[in-house]
Amino acid sequence: MKGLGIAGGTGLAYGAMSTLGLAPSAAAPNRSFRPLRAGDLIGTVTGNHSVVVLGGGPAGLCSAYELRKAGYKVTVLEARTRPGGRVWTVRGGTEETDLNGETQKCTFSDGHFFNLGATRIPQHHITLDYCRELGVQIEAFGNQNANTFVNYTSDTSVSGQSVTYRAAKADTFGYVSELLHKATNQGSLDQVLTREDKDALSEFLRGFGDLSDDGRYLGSSRRGYDSEPRAGLNFGTPKKPFSLRDVIQGGLGRNFNFEFEHDQAMLMFTPVGGMDRIYYAFADAVGSDNIVYGAEVTSMRNVSDGVTVEYTVNGARKAITADFAICTIPPHLVRRLQNNLPSDVLSALKGALPASSGKLAIEYSRRWWEIEDRIYGGASNTDKDISQIMFPWNSFHSDRGVVVAYYSSGRRQEGFESLSHRQRLAKALAEGSEIHGDKYLRDISSSFSGSWRRTKYSEAPWISWVGGGSELKAPTPEFTKLLDPVEKIYFAGDNLTNSIGWQHGALWSARDAVTRIHERVAQQS
Amino acid sequence: MKGLGIAGGTGLAYGAMSTLGLAPSAAAPNRSFRPLRAGDLIGTVTGNHSVVVLGGGPAGLCSAYELRKAGYKVTVLEARTRPGGRVWTVRGGTEETDLNGETQKCTFSDGHFFNLGATRIPQHHITLDYCRELGVQIEAFGNQNANTFVNYTSDTSVSGQSVTYRAAKADTFGYVSELLHKATNQGSLDQVLTREDKDALSEFLRGFGDLSDDGRYLGSSRRGYDSEPRAGLNFGTPKKPFSLRDVIQGGLGRNFNFEFEHDQAMLMFTPVGGMDRIYYAFADAVGSDNIVYGAEVTSMRNVSDGVTVEYTVNGARKAITADFAICTIPPHLVRRLQNNLPSDVLSALKGALPASSGKLAIEYSRRWWEIEDRIYGGASNTDKDISQIMFPWNSFHSDRGVVVAYYSSGRRQEGFESLSHRQRLAKALAEGSEIHGDKYLRDISSSFSGSWRRTKYSEAPWISWVGGGSELKAPTPEFTKLLDPVEKIYFAGDNLTNSIGWQHGALWSARDAVTRIHERVAQQS
C-alpha cells in the first residue's frame, strides 16, 4: 500500500493546511493508521475533536477514513448492514427486500456477481488512487466492444437487426468520410479550407473511411466476415456493407459518442471481485469499532455543543452528539429527518430530484456470448427499454457467467420499477432475445434485479438538480447553498459535485468536507 | 478444460473426415489425451502412422497436439530450449545471444515480463479457443487508450507536442463533423442526400462532433481538463481545442484506423503471465517424450518410406524417419536445409521475404505512467523511430512495471537492428523522453531488447510475399505453390494464411495440414 499521490493538485486543498501552521507531525496519534503522506491532509488535529458521519457509502467512509488519519474521533452511522451504499455488489447470499415489498435472494455461483450500482472507474478518477492506497486490486472493465451489437428501430431495412459495433463503425465512418471527401473535392468548402488543409483532410478520410482510390466507401474488412479467414486459400468472406441510407437513417452510430465521453472513454477499470471491495477496505481501515451498521438515523440537529443525531439500531433508540456532522444521506431523504435546518436549507434540499435507474442480471450456465457471438465483455445497445446488455469482463472461459440483461435509466427504467422480479425478467428476456437470439432464453441458472427508486435508504441512483440536471454545466442556487455548512453540519456526496453519480464525486466531496472541518478546527485552536 | 467449440465451421474441414468412413471411436488410443470432441478432427487413425514436426512454435505444437489426439506418433524437433518460437515472453532469467553476437540476460523482477513477439489476441481468433481448451487463463489487453499520447512531426504548432488520444479524437471528430455539417447544410451534397438523410446525418454529426447549436466545434469536455473536476464549485478547467489547421495538417488522427482494424479492434486479450503460457500448455499436452528441444535441423528429404530429417542436439548428429513431415520452419530458413525439394518449390520459397520488427522493454521501479500520466495500459504513438510506447496491461498499482519503449517495424526497425542493446536503449530513451518527459529517464531498473531479423532460428518477425506483401489480398503463385505437399512434406505456418504474423494463422495452418494428412491416410487405408 502506498500513499495517495494524486497528480498535480491533491495538495491544493489539502496542502493549504500547512499555511495554517499545521506542520506535518512526526507521528500520527492513531497508531493503527499510516502516517500522513505528502499530498494528503497535512497535520493532525490537537485536542479531542469528534465527527459523526451519517452514511457509510463512498462519501461517508472516505470522510471517516481521512478524519481518522488526522486524529479525529469518528462514528459512522450506516443504516444498511454493509458498507458501500449505492456501491452494491450482488452475489450468492445477497438478500434484499425492496420498497415494493418483494424479497429476492441471490443464488449466483461462487465467484460470480454483478454491481447493481457503480461498476466502472475511468483512469483519471480519484477512486483509483484509493484503490492503490487501500490495496484493492483492479482489472480492466470492457466498456465498449467491436463485437457487441447495436439494434435499433428505424424506418429502414436495418430496423431491428443486430449489427456488430465494428460493422456499424466501418459503415458510418466509411460513408461520412466519402461524403466529406466528395464535398471537399468538388470545392464546397473552399471558403474554409486551404489546399494544404484539403490534402491533409483527404489523406485522413481515405484512411478513416477505408475509401477506394476514387474516394468511395465500398465496404471494409473492418466490418468483419461472414466466414472468418483461416488457412491456405480460405481468405474469408467479408460482410457486405449496408447502404448509405440504412446506415445514416438507421442511426447505427447513435451511441458512438459514449466511448468518447470524458468519464467513459476506454480504458476503464473495476476492482477484482466487485466494486464493493473498495468500501470493505475503507471500512477495515476505519475500524469496526467506529462504524455502527443497522443504524437508521431519525433526527439530526445542531445543538449548543455540536450536532446531535438520533438513530435506531434493531428498534433501540440511540443518540450521539459530536462536534461536527458530515451528512452523506441523499438530499431527498435528509428532508425526512427530524431536524432544525433553516428554511432556506430545506428549500435547497428540494432542488435535488431523484433519478431512476436499475439493473437485472442473469447467471447463465453456459457462456454463449463467448462461444457463439465471440463477445468477451462490453455491451450491446438498443432503443428497447432494456437499453443495453452488459457482458462480464471477468471469469473468461469459465463454465458460467453473469450478464446484466438491462441497465436502463429515466423513462425506460420507470417501466421496470413497479414490476415484480419475475415480470422484469420476462420483459428482459423478451427484448434481449430479439437482440441475441433464442440462446438468450436457454441455460439460465438464476437472476436478480434492483431498481434504485425502490431501494430502501437510497430511493434514487443519483439526483438531478432543478434547473441543472445530473450533468451540471454550472452550479445551481440550491447546489451552491448546500455547499455551505449549516452551523456544524456539512453535507457531502456525489450530488454536491459535477461528477454526480460517480464515486469520484463522492470521494472528492468527502475530502472537501474534511478539509473544511480541519481548517475550521485549526483556526479555532 | 472444455472441448474446442469453434463457432460455425470448425467442422467444415475437420468434420469432413466422417464422410471418409472414420466414425468416432469410443476410446482414443492415446489414453493421456482427451477423446475427440464435436468439431474437432473426427475419428482416430488405424495402424501406426508417424509424423515428424519441424519447429515447436504455434504451428508445430498445434500440429503435434491435434495429431496426437487422432492417434499419430509424433516427434517435434525444436531448435530452441523452449516452446513457442516467435511467441517469446521475456522475464527475469531469460538469456539470449543474438546474431550480432551480443548476449543479454533479463533481470526483470518476479511477475514482470514482456512479450517480445505476439502480445495480443482478438476475440474472433482461434487462439482464444485453444486458451479455453488448454485452460490458459486470459485477461484484457489494452490495445488503445484515451489517455495515451500521439506525438507527430508536422508543419504546424502541434508538431512534437504530446496530445492525448482523447483530445486528438475530440478535435478531429469535432472538425470533421463541423465541415460535413456545413457542406450538407449549404446543399453541397443534395445530389446524393435526401432531406431525411440530411436530417439524420445532422443529428449524428452534432453528437459525434459535440457541435454547438449552430453546428460549430468549439471544444468539448471529451478532450479532458487542465484541472479535473473535483468537489463543490470546482467544475474543472476544460482544455482548449487546437485549431482546425493544426488538427488536420498536424495529422493527429493518422493512427485512429488502427483501432477499427479487423484484428486490432478492442476488446483484445492476452494470457495471464505471458503469451508463452499457451505453448507451455501445448507442450505439456503433447508430452515431453515427444518433443526434442535443442534440435537443430540440418536436412529434410523425402525418401522411399517417408521423410528423413537429420538434426543435431548438443553437437550430436541424429536422424529420424517418419511417414510424414510437417515443416513449420520459416520459408526463408527452409532453403538453407539440405534437401531434395524440387526446383519449383525452392523458387516458391524465395517468394517469402523476411520482414523487420523488434521491441525494447524497460522495467521501471515506479509506475510514473499511472501516477503522473493516468495511463493504465495502451500505447502512445509517434512518427519517431520508436513508433510506439506500450504500457503494461497488468500488475496495476504495483511498485514496478515493464514498458515497451519501442515496437517498430520496417524501415523504422532497421535502424535498431545493428545497434548494441545499450545503443538501442539510448535511442529509445532519447525519443521516449520527448514524448513522456524527463520522468522517462528516471527509475530505470533494467531493460531487454530483441530484433527479429537478428534472432536465431527466426530471422524475421513475419514474412511478406513477393507481389502480395504481408497483408495478402489474394494468394500469390508462390504462396499457392507451397500449400501443396511435396510428396510427404507439408508446409505449415502463419505465412501460409492471410493472417500472417498472427497465431490464428499458424494454428489454422496446422489444423489444415493435420486434416490433409489425416484425409490421405484415411484414403490409403
Distances (CA, A) of B435 to A7, A432, B139: 18, 45, 28
ipTM value, please give it: 0.93
Is A201 in Cβ contact with B378 (below 8 Å)?
no
Q: Which three cell numbers stand for residue A7?
A: 497528480
**Closest CA relative to residue B453, chosen from B100, B114, B120, B102:** B100
B3 contacts on A by Cβ (under 8 Å): none
- Least Cα distance to A392 among A400, A178, B263 occurs for A400
Judging contacts by C-beta atoms under 8 Å, the chain A residues touching residue B9 are: 227-228
Residues of chain A positioned with their CB less than 8 A from the CB of B249:
196-197, 200
Grid cell of B504 as nine digits: 490464428
Choose among B518, B481, B205: nearest CA to B331: B481
Q: Does the structure show a pLDDT above 90 at A481?
A: yes
Neighbours of A321 (CB within 10 A): 16
Gap between the Cα atoms of A513 and A489, Å rounded: 10
CB contact under 8 A, B233 and A197: no
Closest by Cβ to B266, choosing from A13, A131, A145: A145
Q: Which residues of B touch A233 (CB under 8 A)?
A: 475, 480, 483
Tell me which chain B residue has its CA closest to the CA of residue A168: B260
- Among A230, A239, A494, A502, which would you mutate to test the B interface (most chain B Cβ atoms within 10 Å of its Cβ)? A230
Q: Classify A16 as helix, strand or coil.
A: helix
pLDDT at A47: 83
Nearest to B340 by CA among B299, B370, B290: B299
- CB-CB neighbors (< 8 A) of B221 in chain A: 261-262
The DSSP code for A385 is T
Q: Are B508 and A144 inside 8 Å of each other by CB?
A: no
DSSP one-letter string for B148-206: SEEE---SSTTTT--EEHHHHHHHHHHHHHHHHHHHHHTTTTTTT--HHHHHHHHHHHH
Q: How far apart (Å, rounded) are the C-alpha atoms in residues A3 and A130?
A: 9
3-state secondary structure A149-218: EEECCCCCCCCCCCEEHHHHHHHHHHHHHHHHHHHHHCCCCCCCCCHHHHHHHHHHHHHHHCCCCCCCCC
Q: Kindly identify which residue of chain B lies nearest to residue A261, measuring between CA atoms.
A: B222
Query: CA-CA distances (angstroms) from residue A356 to A153, A271, A451, A488?
Result: 23, 25, 8, 32
Residue A389: which of A372, A402, A370, A374 has the closest Cα?
Answer: A402
* CB within 8 Å: A140 and B393: yes
B379 contacts B335 by C-beta, under 8 angstroms: no
Nearest to residue B46, comparing CAs of B18, B76, B25?
B25
Cβ within 8 Å, pair A497-B222: no
**pLDDT for residue B43:** 65
Question: Does A472 contact B235 at a Cβ distance shorter than 8 Å?
Answer: yes
Residue B474 CB-density burial (10 A; 0-12 exposed, 13-18 middle, 19+ buried): exposed
Contact B257 A176 (CB under 8 A): no
- What is the number of other CB atoms lying within 10 angstroms of the CB of residue B475? 17
* Confidence (pLDDT) at A28: 35
Is A2's pLDDT higher than 80?
Answer: no
Query: What is the rounded distance in angstroms from the CA atom of residue B131 to the CA atom of residue A396?
Result: 10
- Facing A232 at nearest CB: one of B221, B234, B483: B483
Q: Give just the sign of the alpha carbon dihedral B263, B266, B269, B270.
A: positive
Q: Is the dihedral of CA A493, A496, A501, A502 positive or negative?
A: negative
SS3 content of chain B, % helix, strand, coil (to 5): 35, 25, 45
Burial class of A5 by CB neighbour count within 10 A (0 to 12, 13 to 18, 19+): middle
- Chain A nearest-CA distance from B300, in A, is 22
Q: From CA A138, how far away is CA A271, in angstroms rounded?
A: 4
Q: How, if at all, do strands B89-91 and B352-354 pair?
A: unpaired
Chain B residues touching A186 at Cβ < 8 A: 188
Is A145–B7 a contact, with Cβ atoms under 8 angstroms apart?
Answer: no
CB–CB contact B197 A505 (8 Å) = no
- Specify the pairing of strand A338-339 against strand B324-327: unpaired
pTM: 0.93
Contact residues, chain B, for A474 at CB < 8 Å: 235
Contact assignment for B124 to A188 by CB distance below 8 Å = no
Residue A393 belongs to what H/E stretch?
A: none
Going by pLDDT thresholds of 50, 70 and 90, the confidence category of residue A408 is very high
Q: The C-alpha cell of A82 is what? A: 454493509
When scoring A204, A211, A277 by the number of chain B Cβ atoms within 10 A, the one with the most, hence best to mutate, is A204
Retrieve residue A59's grid coordinates: 462519501
Instruction: Give the position of cell 477506394.
Output: A212
User: Taking CB atoms and an 8 Å limit, are B210 and A269 in contact across chains?
Assistant: no
Per-residue model confidence (pLDDT) at position A39: 43
CA contacts within 13 A on the Cβ side of B165: 27
Burial tier of B143 (Cβ tally within 10 Å: 0-12, 13-18, 19+):
buried
Q: Which residues of B touch A123 (CB under 8 A)?
A: 145-147, 374-376
Q: In what order do the strands lie in the sheet with B489-491?
A: B291-293, B73-78, B50-54, B324-327, B489-491
Write out the DSSP string of B233-292: T---EEPPPPPHHHHHHTTTTTTGGGGGSTTTPSPEEEETT-TTHHHHHHHHHH-GGGEE
Helix, strand or coil for residue A381?
strand
> Cα separation of A506 and A491, whole Å?
11
Q: What is residue B47's predicted lDDT score, i.e. its pLDDT? A: 83
How distant is the Cα of B505 from the closest Cα of chain A, in angstroms?
6
C-alpha–C-alpha distance, residues A230 and B236, integer Å = 50
State the virtual CA torsion across A467, A469, A471, A476 in degrees, nearest 10: 30
Question: How far A451 CA sits from the closest chain B CA (Å)?
Answer: 27
Closest-CA distance, B394 to chain A, in angstroms, reads 8
User: A229 and B182: CB-CB below 8 Å?
Assistant: no
Contact residues, chain A, for B202 at CB < 8 Å: none
CB B483 within 8 A of CB B445: no
pLDDT at B12: 31
User: For residue A236, which residues of chain B lie inside 8 Å, CB to CB?
Assistant: 498
- What is the rounded CA–CA span in Å between residue A516 and residue A493? 15
- Torsion over CA: A41, A47, A51, A56 (sign): positive
Q: Kindly report the nearest CA distance between residue A440 and chain B, in angstroms.
A: 16
Distance of CA B303 to the CA centre of its chain: 36
Using CB atoms, which residue from B266, B371, B397 is nearest to A146?
A: B266
pLDDT at A205 over 60: yes
Q: Is the pLDDT of residue A5 over 60?
A: no
List of residues 6+ apart from B197 with CB closer than 8 A:
A244, A245, A248, A249
CA-based nearest residue in chain B for residue A141: B140
Q: Cα dist. A328→A380, A465, A507, A514 in Å?
A: 34, 16, 11, 12
Q: What is the DSSP letter of A120?
A: -
What is the separation of C-alpha A169 from the centre of its chain, rounded to a whole number of angstroms?
Answer: 25
pLDDT number for residue A22: 31
What are the phi and psi torsion angles at A331 (to 5°)? -55, -35
- Hey, of B397, B484, B516, which one would you mutate to test binding to chain A, going by the most A CBs within 10 A of its CB? B397
How far apart are the CA of A433 and the nearest CA of chain B, in angstroms? 19
* A15 exposure class (CB count in 10 Å sphere: 0-12, 13-18, 19+): middle
Contacting residues for A166 by C-beta, under 8 A, at least 6 apart: A146, A147, A222, A223, A224, B260, B262, B265
Instruction: Check if the beta carbon of residue A362 is closer than 8 Å to that of residue A405.
Output: yes
Q: What are the b/e assignments for B336-347, b being 16+ CB within 10 Å?
A: ebebebeeebee
**What is the structure's pLDDT at A45?**
75
The pLDDT score that the predictor gives to residue A266 is: 97
Question: Any alpha helices (H) in B359-497, and if so which ranges?
Answer: 368-371, 411-417, 421-436, 477-483
- With an 8 Å Cβ cutoff, are A225 and B262 in contact? yes
Chain centroid, CA B295 distance in Å: 26
Query: What does the pLDDT read at residue B40?
Result: 55
In tens digits, chain B (525 residues) has pLDDT values of 333 434 333 333 344 333 333 333 333 333 344 433 434 555 677 789 999 999 999 999 999 999 999 899 999 999 999 999 999 999 999 999 999 999 999 999 999 999 999 999 999 999 999 999 999 999 999 999 999 999 999 999 999 999 999 999 999 999 999 999 999 999 999 999 999 999 999 999 999 999 999 999 999 999 999 988 898 999 988 899 999 999 999 999 999 999 999 999 999 999 999 999 999 999 999 999 999 999 999 999 999 999 999 999 999 999 999 999 999 999 999 999 999 999 999 999 999 999 999 999 999 999 999 999 999 999 999 999 999 999 999 999 999 999 999 999 999 999 999 999 999 999 999 999 999 999 999 999 999 999 999 999 999 999 999 999 888 989 999 999 999 999 999 999 999 999 999 999 999 999 999 999 999 998 886
- Cβ pair A197:B224 closer than 8 A: no
CB contact under 8 A, A232 and B512: yes
Percentage of residues in chain A with pLDDT exceeding 70?
Answer: 92
Cβ–Cβ under 8 Å, residues B29 and B72 = no
